[in-house]
Amino acid sequence: MIIKESAENYLETIYMLNKKNGYVRSIDIANELGFSKPSISVAMKGFREDGYIYVDTDGKITLTQKGTEVAERVYERHQVIAKALMALGVDEQTAFEDSCKLEHDLSDKSFEKIKEHFEKYNK
């Protein structure tokens, strides 16, 4: 499944906010990403229509199984790449900023090798 980087960022943000707060609303996403509420509303409409999220009558956003799969994949990449960079001596802030850039463009093959190597040497 090919999904755009911006969509991955939205879904990952929903995933992280849900883990942090136990719920997610459009305003939470807008505040987290620094986007306008109307921009978030347009994006959420598209995600809802494409089956990535569900929005209840109170406006709370929940990832569907399809949305969760994308979000968890991106979140794992973000975490593993950042931790690998920190293990190499990169400061935490830079590591997380760089991992956000790399997580979207890195091939599955390369990511799996980085993950394998990191797990082998950092148990």
Shared-domain flag, residues 58 and 85: no
Shared-domain flag, residues 54 and 98: no
First and final CA of the chain: distance in angstroms?
31
Task: Say what the pTM is.
Answer: 0.86
Nearest to residue 119, comparing CAs of 74, 80, 82?
80
Shared-domain flag, residues 59 and 80: no
- Does the pLDDT at position 67 exceed 60? yes
Nearest to residue 68, comparing CAs of 83, 49, 82, 47?
47
Round the average pLDDT of the chain to a whole number and report it. Answer: 92
- Does the pLDDT at position 113 exceed 80? yes
| Residue 79, domain CATH | 1.10.60.10
- Domain coverage including residue 104: 70-121
pLDDT value, residue 119: 85
Nearest to residue 32, comparing CAs of 47, 15, 49?
15
33/111 Cα distance (integer angstroms): 25
